[in-house]
Structure 1
Protein backbone atom coordinates (compact mmCIF):
# COMPACT_ATOMS: atom_id res chain seq x y z
CA UNK A 1 0.00 0.00 0.00
CA UNK A 2 1.39 3.37 -1.03
CA UNK A 3 -0.41 6.06 0.95
CA UNK A 4 0.48 9.75 0.75
CA UNK A 5 -1.16 12.74 2.39
CA UNK A 6 -0.75 16.23 0.91
CA UNK A 7 -2.03 19.57 2.16
CA UNK A 8 -4.50 21.17 -0.21
CA UNK A 9 -3.90 24.62 -1.64
CA UNK A 10 -6.15 27.01 -3.52
CA UNK A 11 -5.16 25.42 -6.83
CA UNK A 12 -6.80 22.21 -5.56
CA UNK A 13 -10.25 23.84 -5.52
CA UNK A 14 -11.75 21.91 -8.45
CA UNK A 15 -10.69 18.40 -7.36
CA UNK A 16 -11.70 19.28 -3.78
CA UNK A 17 -15.12 20.35 -4.96
CA UNK A 18 -15.53 17.24 -7.11
CA UNK A 19 -14.52 14.76 -4.41
CA UNK A 20 -16.64 16.58 -1.81
CA UNK A 21 -19.80 16.27 -3.89
CA UNK A 22 -19.02 12.70 -4.98
CA UNK A 23 -18.32 11.33 -1.51
CA UNK A 24 -21.17 13.20 0.14
CA UNK A 25 -23.66 11.86 -2.39
CA UNK A 26 -22.26 8.32 -2.05
CA UNK A 27 -22.77 8.44 1.70
CA UNK A 28 -26.00 10.37 2.19
CA UNK A 29 -28.04 10.52 -1.02
CA UNK A 30 -30.11 7.43 -0.20
CA UNK A 31 -31.23 8.96 3.11
CA UNK A 32 -32.30 12.42 1.94
CA UNK A 33 -34.65 14.00 -0.54
CA UNK A 34 -33.37 15.19 -3.90
CA UNK A 35 -34.32 18.76 -2.94
CA UNK A 36 -32.43 18.69 0.37
CA UNK A 37 -29.35 17.12 -1.25
CA UNK A 38 -29.39 19.78 -3.96
CA UNK A 39 -29.74 22.62 -1.42
CA UNK A 40 -26.97 21.23 0.78
CA UNK A 41 -24.48 20.46 -1.99
CA UNK A 42 -24.97 23.87 -3.61
CA UNK A 43 -24.41 25.60 -0.28
CA UNK A 44 -21.62 23.51 1.25
CA UNK A 45 -19.46 22.93 -1.82
CA UNK A 46 -19.84 25.97 -4.04
CA UNK A 47 -16.61 27.52 -5.29
CA UNK A 48 -16.89 30.68 -3.19
CA UNK A 49 -17.41 28.81 0.07
CA UNK A 50 -14.64 26.29 -0.57
CA UNK A 51 -12.27 29.10 -1.59
CA UNK A 52 -12.99 30.91 1.67
CA UNK A 53 -12.37 27.70 3.62
CA UNK A 54 -9.11 27.00 1.76
CA UNK A 55 -7.72 30.45 2.55
CA UNK A 56 -8.95 30.51 6.16
CA UNK A 57 -5.86 30.19 8.38
CA UNK A 58 -7.92 28.28 10.98
CA UNK A 59 -8.89 25.53 8.49
CA UNK A 60 -6.73 22.97 6.69
CA UNK A 61 -7.53 20.36 4.04
CA UNK A 62 -5.43 17.28 3.28
CA UNK A 63 -5.86 14.97 0.30
CA UNK A 64 -5.07 11.30 0.81
CA UNK A 65 -3.80 9.26 -2.13
CA UNK A 66 -3.73 5.49 -2.49
CA UNK A 67 -1.23 4.47 -5.18
CA UNK A 68 -1.26 8.05 -6.54
CA UNK A 69 -5.07 8.05 -6.89
CA UNK A 70 -7.03 10.69 -4.99
CA UNK A 71 -8.96 8.59 -2.49
CA UNK A 72 -10.34 11.11 -0.01
CA UNK A 73 -9.59 14.02 2.25
CA UNK A 74 -9.50 15.42 5.76
CA UNK A 75 -10.64 18.88 6.85
CA UNK A 76 -9.67 20.22 10.26
CA UNK A 77 -10.63 23.44 12.03
CA UNK A 78 -9.18 25.34 14.97
CA UNK A 79 -10.08 28.63 16.58
CA UNK A 80 -13.04 30.48 15.08
CA UNK A 81 -13.35 28.08 12.15
CA UNK A 82 -14.74 25.35 14.42
CA UNK A 83 -18.43 24.69 13.89
CA UNK A 84 -18.98 24.50 17.67
CA UNK A 85 -17.14 26.02 20.59
CA UNK A 86 -15.98 22.90 22.40
CA UNK A 87 -12.89 24.37 24.04
CA UNK A 88 -9.98 26.62 23.12
CA UNK A 89 -7.70 23.62 23.34
CA UNK A 90 -9.58 21.54 20.79
CA UNK A 91 -9.23 20.72 17.11
CA UNK A 92 -12.28 19.82 15.03
CA UNK A 93 -12.28 17.16 12.37
CA UNK A 94 -15.01 18.60 10.18
CA UNK A 95 -14.68 16.07 7.37
CA UNK A 96 -13.17 12.69 6.73
CA UNK A 97 -14.40 11.78 3.27
CA UNK A 98 -13.22 8.65 1.46
CA UNK A 99 -14.38 7.56 -1.99
CA UNK A 100 -16.38 4.33 -1.85
CA UNK A 101 -13.84 2.44 -3.99
CA UNK A 102 -11.21 3.11 -1.30
CA UNK A 103 -13.25 2.38 1.82
CA UNK A 104 -12.04 -0.44 4.05
CA UNK A 105 -8.44 0.19 2.94
CA UNK A 106 -7.38 1.73 6.26
CA UNK A 107 -7.40 5.28 4.95
CA UNK A 108 -9.59 6.52 7.79
CA UNK A 109 -6.92 5.38 10.25
CA UNK A 110 -4.31 7.39 8.34
CA UNK A 111 -6.52 10.49 8.37
CA UNK A 112 -7.24 10.19 12.10
CA UNK A 113 -3.49 9.78 12.72
CA UNK A 114 -2.88 12.93 10.66
CA UNK A 115 -5.48 14.83 12.69
CA UNK A 116 -3.85 13.67 15.93
CA UNK A 117 -0.42 14.72 14.64
CA UNK A 118 -1.78 18.16 13.72
CA UNK A 119 -3.50 18.51 17.09
CA UNK A 120 -0.23 17.74 18.87
CA UNK A 121 1.69 20.21 16.67
CA UNK A 122 -0.90 22.86 17.51
CA UNK A 123 -0.79 21.92 21.21
CA UNK A 124 -4.45 20.90 21.38
CA UNK A 125 -5.70 18.66 24.20
CA UNK A 126 -8.67 17.14 22.37
CA UNK A 127 -10.00 16.43 18.91
CA UNK A 128 -13.69 16.30 18.18
CA UNK A 129 -16.12 15.74 15.35
CA UNK A 130 -19.80 15.52 14.53
CA UNK A 131 -21.24 12.33 13.07
CA UNK A 132 -24.82 11.77 11.90
CA UNK A 133 -26.73 9.79 14.50
CA UNK A 134 -27.77 7.18 11.88
CA UNK A 135 -24.33 6.67 10.29
CA UNK A 136 -23.65 3.40 12.10
CA UNK A 137 -20.46 2.46 10.24
CA UNK A 138 -18.87 5.86 10.89
CA UNK A 139 -19.86 5.83 14.56
CA UNK A 140 -18.41 2.33 14.98
CA UNK A 141 -15.16 3.43 13.31
CA UNK A 142 -14.80 6.48 15.56
CA UNK A 143 -15.59 4.49 18.70
CA UNK A 144 -12.87 1.99 17.72
CA UNK A 145 -10.50 4.94 17.26
CA UNK A 146 -11.09 5.97 20.89
CA UNK A 147 -13.74 8.67 20.50
CA UNK A 148 -16.61 8.93 22.98
CA UNK A 149 -19.94 10.71 22.63
CA UNK A 150 -19.99 13.91 24.65
CA UNK A 151 -22.99 15.71 23.17
CA UNK A 152 -25.02 16.42 20.08
CA UNK A 153 -25.96 19.31 17.82
CA UNK A 154 -28.28 20.09 14.96
CA UNK A 155 -27.13 19.70 11.38
CA UNK A 156 -29.21 21.00 8.50
CA UNK A 157 -29.41 18.91 5.37
CA UNK A 158 -31.09 21.49 3.20
CA UNK A 159 -34.33 22.19 5.07
CA UNK A 160 -34.18 18.99 7.14
CA UNK A 161 -32.88 19.37 10.70
CA UNK A 162 -30.90 16.28 11.66
CA UNK A 163 -28.87 15.33 14.72
CA UNK A 164 -25.11 14.83 14.77
CA UNK A 165 -23.46 13.26 17.79
CA UNK A 166 -20.42 15.11 19.04
CA UNK A 167 -17.57 12.70 19.64
CA UNK A 168 -14.33 13.66 21.37
CA UNK A 169 -10.95 12.10 21.97
CA UNK A 170 -8.26 13.26 24.36
CA UNK A 171 -4.79 13.64 22.89
CA UNK A 172 -2.10 11.99 24.99
Structure 2
Protein backbone atom coordinates (compact mmCIF):
# COMPACT_ATOMS: atom_id res chain seq x y z
CA UNK A 1 0.00 0.00 0.00
CA UNK A 2 2.64 2.47 -1.08
CA UNK A 3 0.15 5.12 -2.16
CA UNK A 4 -0.85 6.01 1.38
CA UNK A 5 -0.40 9.68 2.19
CA UNK A 6 -0.11 10.89 5.78
CA UNK A 7 -1.61 14.34 6.24
CA UNK A 8 -2.05 16.59 9.26
CA UNK A 9 -5.70 17.01 10.27
CA UNK A 10 -7.03 20.56 10.61
CA UNK A 11 -10.32 22.04 11.80
CA UNK A 12 -11.52 21.93 8.17
CA UNK A 13 -11.36 18.11 8.36
CA UNK A 14 -13.58 17.78 11.43
CA UNK A 15 -16.41 15.90 9.65
CA UNK A 16 -13.95 13.36 8.25
CA UNK A 17 -12.28 13.00 11.64
CA UNK A 18 -15.64 12.46 13.34
CA UNK A 19 -16.60 9.86 10.73
CA UNK A 20 -13.33 7.87 10.78
CA UNK A 21 -13.19 8.12 14.58
CA UNK A 22 -16.67 6.73 15.10
CA UNK A 23 -16.37 4.08 12.39
CA UNK A 24 -13.03 2.65 13.50
CA UNK A 25 -13.95 2.74 17.20
CA UNK A 26 -17.21 0.90 16.46
CA UNK A 27 -15.47 -1.72 14.33
CA UNK A 28 -12.85 -2.28 17.01
CA UNK A 29 -14.98 -2.37 20.16
CA UNK A 30 -18.70 -2.87 19.46
CA UNK A 31 -18.59 -6.67 19.81
CA UNK A 32 -17.10 -6.39 23.30
CA UNK A 33 -19.35 -3.63 24.69
CA UNK A 34 -23.04 -2.91 25.17
CA UNK A 35 -24.79 -0.89 22.50
CA UNK A 36 -25.76 1.70 25.12
CA UNK A 37 -22.16 2.22 26.29
CA UNK A 38 -20.89 2.36 22.70
CA UNK A 39 -23.54 4.90 21.65
CA UNK A 40 -22.74 7.14 24.61
CA UNK A 41 -19.00 7.01 23.98
CA UNK A 42 -19.37 7.61 20.24
CA UNK A 43 -21.69 10.58 20.85
CA UNK A 44 -19.50 12.18 23.55
CA UNK A 45 -15.99 11.14 22.50
CA UNK A 46 -16.46 12.18 18.89
CA UNK A 47 -18.78 15.16 19.30
CA UNK A 48 -17.98 18.24 17.19
CA UNK A 49 -17.35 20.19 20.41
CA UNK A 50 -14.83 17.69 21.76
CA UNK A 51 -13.05 17.29 18.43
CA UNK A 52 -12.90 21.08 17.93
CA UNK A 53 -11.32 21.42 21.37
CA UNK A 54 -8.80 18.65 20.60
CA UNK A 55 -7.93 20.05 17.16
CA UNK A 56 -7.42 23.54 18.63
CA UNK A 57 -5.13 22.16 21.34
CA UNK A 58 -1.53 23.01 20.43
CA UNK A 59 -0.32 19.99 22.45
CA UNK A 60 -2.21 17.44 20.35
CA UNK A 61 -1.83 16.47 16.70
CA UNK A 62 -4.02 14.32 14.46
CA UNK A 63 -2.91 12.71 11.20
CA UNK A 64 -4.97 10.93 8.54
CA UNK A 65 -3.84 7.96 6.48
CA UNK A 66 -5.30 8.67 3.03
CA UNK A 67 -5.52 6.23 0.14
CA UNK A 68 -6.85 7.51 -3.17
CA UNK A 69 -8.56 10.45 -1.41
CA UNK A 70 -10.26 8.18 1.14
CA UNK A 71 -9.39 8.48 4.83
CA UNK A 72 -8.66 4.90 5.95
CA UNK A 73 -7.11 5.50 9.37
CA UNK A 74 -5.83 8.11 11.78
CA UNK A 75 -3.33 8.85 14.51
CA UNK A 76 -3.62 11.10 17.57
CA UNK A 77 -0.56 12.25 19.50
CA UNK A 78 -0.45 14.17 22.80
CA UNK A 79 2.45 16.18 24.23
CA UNK A 80 3.18 17.75 27.61
CA UNK A 81 0.11 18.41 29.75
CA UNK A 82 -2.28 17.07 27.09
CA UNK A 83 -1.15 13.50 27.78
CA UNK A 84 -3.73 11.43 29.61
CA UNK A 85 -1.02 10.32 32.09
CA UNK A 86 2.74 11.03 32.64
CA UNK A 87 2.24 14.63 31.35
CA UNK A 88 5.89 15.55 31.15
CA UNK A 89 7.82 17.06 28.30
CA UNK A 90 10.17 14.11 27.91
CA UNK A 91 7.45 11.84 26.51
CA UNK A 92 4.77 11.68 23.82
CA UNK A 93 1.56 9.69 24.08
CA UNK A 94 0.14 7.83 21.13
CA UNK A 95 -3.50 8.15 22.16
CA UNK A 96 -4.98 6.58 19.05
CA UNK A 97 -3.98 4.61 16.00
CA UNK A 98 -7.10 3.33 14.28
CA UNK A 99 -7.47 1.81 10.83
CA UNK A 100 -10.64 0.73 9.02
CA UNK A 101 -11.07 -3.03 9.33
CA UNK A 102 -10.93 -3.66 5.58
CA UNK A 103 -7.36 -2.26 5.63
CA UNK A 104 -6.10 -4.32 8.59
CA UNK A 105 -2.98 -6.31 7.78
CA UNK A 106 -1.99 -3.89 5.02
CA UNK A 107 0.65 -1.96 7.02
CA UNK A 108 -1.53 1.16 7.48
CA UNK A 109 -1.12 1.03 11.27
CA UNK A 110 2.64 0.66 10.82
CA UNK A 111 2.75 3.72 8.54
CA UNK A 112 0.82 5.77 11.14
CA UNK A 113 3.08 4.40 13.89
CA UNK A 114 6.16 5.40 11.84
CA UNK A 115 4.75 8.94 11.62
CA UNK A 116 4.36 8.99 15.42
CA UNK A 117 8.01 7.94 15.81
CA UNK A 118 9.11 10.61 13.31
CA UNK A 119 7.31 13.28 15.40
CA UNK A 120 8.85 11.84 18.60
CA UNK A 121 12.33 12.09 17.07
CA UNK A 122 11.70 15.66 15.86
CA UNK A 123 10.60 16.65 19.36
CA UNK A 124 13.58 14.81 20.87
CA UNK A 125 11.55 13.06 23.57
CA UNK A 126 12.99 10.28 25.73
CA UNK A 127 10.06 7.90 25.35
CA UNK A 128 6.77 7.20 23.64
CA UNK A 129 3.95 5.59 25.59
CA UNK A 130 0.35 4.50 25.13
CA UNK A 131 -2.53 2.67 26.75
CA UNK A 132 -3.98 -0.40 25.04
CA UNK A 133 -7.04 -2.36 26.16
CA UNK A 134 -5.99 -5.59 27.86
CA UNK A 135 -8.50 -7.50 25.71
CA UNK A 136 -7.02 -6.29 22.42
CA UNK A 137 -4.24 -8.86 21.83
CA UNK A 138 -3.78 -7.78 18.21
CA UNK A 139 -2.82 -4.24 19.26
CA UNK A 140 -0.66 -5.48 22.15
CA UNK A 141 1.31 -7.72 19.77
CA UNK A 142 1.72 -4.83 17.32
CA UNK A 143 3.28 -2.61 19.99
CA UNK A 144 5.45 -5.41 21.42
CA UNK A 145 6.75 -6.08 17.92
CA UNK A 146 7.68 -2.38 17.73
CA UNK A 147 9.66 -2.54 20.98
CA UNK A 148 7.12 -1.40 23.57
CA UNK A 149 7.09 -2.92 27.07
CA UNK A 150 4.37 -2.89 29.70
CA UNK A 151 5.03 -0.54 32.63
CA UNK A 152 1.65 0.04 34.33
CA UNK A 153 -2.12 -0.24 34.00
CA UNK A 154 -4.90 2.31 34.16
CA UNK A 155 -8.68 2.35 34.01
CA UNK A 156 -10.52 3.49 30.91
CA UNK A 157 -14.25 4.13 31.37
CA UNK A 158 -16.55 3.29 28.47
CA UNK A 159 -20.10 4.31 29.38
CA UNK A 160 -20.68 2.61 32.74
CA UNK A 161 -18.00 -0.05 32.18
CA UNK A 162 -14.55 0.27 33.75
CA UNK A 163 -11.92 -1.41 31.58
CA UNK A 164 -8.22 -1.96 32.14
CA UNK A 165 -5.70 -0.53 29.73
CA UNK A 166 -2.15 -1.82 29.73
CA UNK A 167 0.26 1.09 29.62
CA UNK A 168 3.24 0.42 27.37
CA UNK A 169 6.37 2.47 26.77
CA UNK A 170 9.26 2.55 24.32
CA UNK A 171 12.51 4.14 25.45
CA UNK A 172 14.17 6.31 22.80
CA UNK A 173 17.11 7.58 24.81
CA UNK A 174 19.65 5.09 23.49
Coarse TM-score class (shorter-chain normalised)? over 0.9
Q: Size of the alignment, in residue pairs?
A: 172
Distance 2:126 2:148 in 1: 13
Distance 2:128 2:86 in 1: 12
2:163 maps to 162
Equivalences for 1:120-135 in 2 at 5 Å?
A: 120-135=121-136
Q: Which runs of 5+ in 2 are unaligned?
A: none
RMSD: 1.0
Distance apart, 1:18 and its partner CA: 0.4
TM-score by length of 1: 0.97
Distance 1:126 1:67 in 2: 33
Q: Alpha-carbon deviations, 1:13-35, whole Å to 9, x = none? A: 00000000000000000000011
1:138 maps to 139
Distance apart, 1:112 and its partner CA: 1.2
Distance 1:86 1:162 in 2: 21
1:11 maps to 12
TM-score by length of 2: 0.96
Equivalences for 1:83-122 in 2 at 5 Å?
A: 83-85=84-86, 87-122=88-123
Distance 1:119 1:39 in 2: 33
2:32 maps to 31
Q: Alpha-carbon deviations, 1:2-61, whole Å to 9, x = none? A: 111000000000000000000000000000001111111111100000000001000000
Which stretches of structure 1, 4 residues or longer, exceed 2 Å deviation after superposition? 66-69
